[in-house]
Amino acid sequence: MSKPKFAMYWAAACGGCEIAVLNVHEGILDVDANFDVVFWPVAMDAKYKDVEAMPDKSITLTLFNGAIRNDENAHIAQMLRAKSQVLVAFGACACEGGIPGLGNLTTKQAILDTAFSTVSTDNPKELRPQTTFKMPEGAIHIPTMYETVKSLDQVVPVDYYMPGCPPESHQIAAVVGLVIKALKGEAQLPPAGAVIGASQSTVCDECKRARGEKTITAFTRMATFQPREDQCLLEQGILCSGMATRGGCDARCPTANMPCVGCYGPAPDVIDQGARMMSAVASVVDSKDPAEIDKIMEGVADPAGTFYRFSMPSSLMRHART
């Protein structure tokens, strides 16, 4: 009997999700033993045409990482959706748009203009990339960038969401283990639309730092402050996203004396991670005076970037007005 088929693909991604999968180390041999890896750019040679030629739903499990930045990303997403039984939005970029999603705070035009006019760019004719360009020998093409970045579920239906930038390897191993069991009929897959490989709580719940009364009268920044290693960072005035962020990483960043930047996406039952973060921050500020409150909030130097660092495309607003 042929083995179930496994695929992994990157769209507008950094490759870190793939490295995280490779970082299950020996676990990769389990994947090899239980699946027929039909398509996995980082680890093996594969051809799109082979995937294209596969019957619909012939791939059992596809891990899709990366955001949707252009028409090529969307096209492959649609193709893999059709070929896959279970499609997982893998990693922050696919789940929420991720860091590339910060592009939604600016415009496509501004991105192109900036990239092609930096101090070291030699571009007197102010050229910009053309999706179709006629060379003397013939026309050549590159994909068309979309105006905004999208999460995977904004172009195709997604069965499961596996958050993290990248998902932690022990979570990946656990999910792969579960899928293998489910295929053997020894376990049940979670209900459709579920978030997998993460906790049902927040990063704060996994954080070991001591928490007391949160009463903040000023925010500070890591740039100019060295926090204590044992006390909640938010209580020390550092904008830590732990309260608004889903757990599952064992509070990696706070453990390393850095604030959570929110990579595991919105906490359970939260649609808009940034909105939740605003509420969380508002509840710890210790002031009843509007003028003083405004002054304290000035310490939030980059509200959109801080609250929506990984989730701008899947936020309720999706993008800034440009």
Partner 1 sequence: MTEQFEPTIVGFTCNWCSYRAADLAGMSRIKYAPNVRLIRLMCSGRVDPQFVFKALAEGADGVLISGCHPGDCHYVEQNYKTMRRFALLKKTLAALGIEDARVKLVWASAAEGNILAEEIDKMVAEVRALGPLNWKGSEQLTVNSEQSAVGGRSSAVKEMSL
Partner 2 sequence: MQRITIDPITRLEGHGKIEIFLDPEGNVANTYFQIPELRGFEQFCVGRPVEEMPVLTGRICGVCPEAHHMAAAKAADAVYHVEIPRTAAKLRELLYSAFYVTDHATHFYALGGPDFVMGPDAPVAERNILGVIHKVGLEIGGKVIQARKAGHTVIEMIGGRKVHPCTSIPGGLSKGITVEQRDEIEKMGRWAIEFAQFSLKLFADIVLGNKAYVDLILGDAYTHRTYSMGMVDEKNHVNFYDGKVSVVDPEGKRLGKYAPSEYTDWIAEHVEPWTYLKFPYLKKVGWKGFTDGKDSGVYTATPLSRLNAADGMATPLAQAEYEKFYATLGGKPVHQRLATHWARLIELLYAAERWVELATDPEIASDNFRAVPTATPTEGVGIVEAPRGTLTHHYWTDERGIVTKVNLIVGTTNNYAPISMSIKKAAESFIKRGVVVSEGILNRVEMAFRAYDPCFGCATHSLPGQMPLQVTVRDARGNVVDVLKQFCD
Q: Does 210 interact with partner 2 (rule: CB under 8 A)?
A: no
Choices 127-135, 197-205, 250-258, 282-290; region in contact with partner 1 by CB under 8 A: 282-290
Judged by CB under 8 A, the stretch of 135-143, 157-165, 200-208, 251-259 that binds partner 1 is 157-165
Q: Residue 6, interface with partner 2 (CB under 8 A)? A: no
311 touches 266 (CB < 8 A): yes
CB of 271 or CB of 301, closer to partner 2: 301
Q: Residue 217 to residues 229, 237, 238: CA-CA distances in angstroms? A: 20, 8, 12
Restricting to residues 187-216, which ones interact with ligand SF4 according to CB under 6 A?
203-204, 207, 209, 211
Q: Which of 200, 198, 207 is nearest to 165 (CA)?
A: 198
User: Strand 68-70 relative to strand 59-65: parallel, antiparallel, unpaired?
Assistant: unpaired
- Report d(CA 47, CA 49) in Å as an integer: 5
With binding defined as CB under 6 A, does residue 166 bind ligand SF4? Answer: yes
Cβ proximity to ligand SF4, 156 vs 249, nearer residue = 249
Residues 214-253 that bind partner 1 (CB under 8 A): none
Cβ neighbours around 283 below 10 Å, total? 9
Give the number of residues in contact with ligand SF4, rule: CB under 6 A: 35
When CB distances are held under 5 to 8 angstroms depending on the partner's kind, the choice from partner 1, partner 2, ligand SF4, none that residue 2 binds is none
Q: How far apart are CA 277 and CA 7, in angstroms?
A: 35
Closest residue (Cβ) to ligand SF4? 242
Rg of the chain's alpha carbons, rounded to an integer? 22
Told to check if 88 binds ligand SF4 by CB under 6 A, we report no
Of 254-283, binders to partner 2 (CB under 8 A) are: 255-258, 261
Residue 63: how many other CB atoms lie within 10 Å? 28
| Concatenated DSSP letters of 170-219 | HHHHHHHHHHHHHHTTSS-PPPTT-B-SS-SSBHHHH--SB-----BS--
Among 37, 174, 258, 293, indicate the residue that binds partner 1 (CB under 8 A): 293
Q: How far is the CB of 187 from partner 2 (least distance, A)?
A: 27
Q: With binding defined as CB under 6 A, does residue 102 bind ligand SF4? A: no
CB-nearer residue toward partner 2: 78 or 215: 78
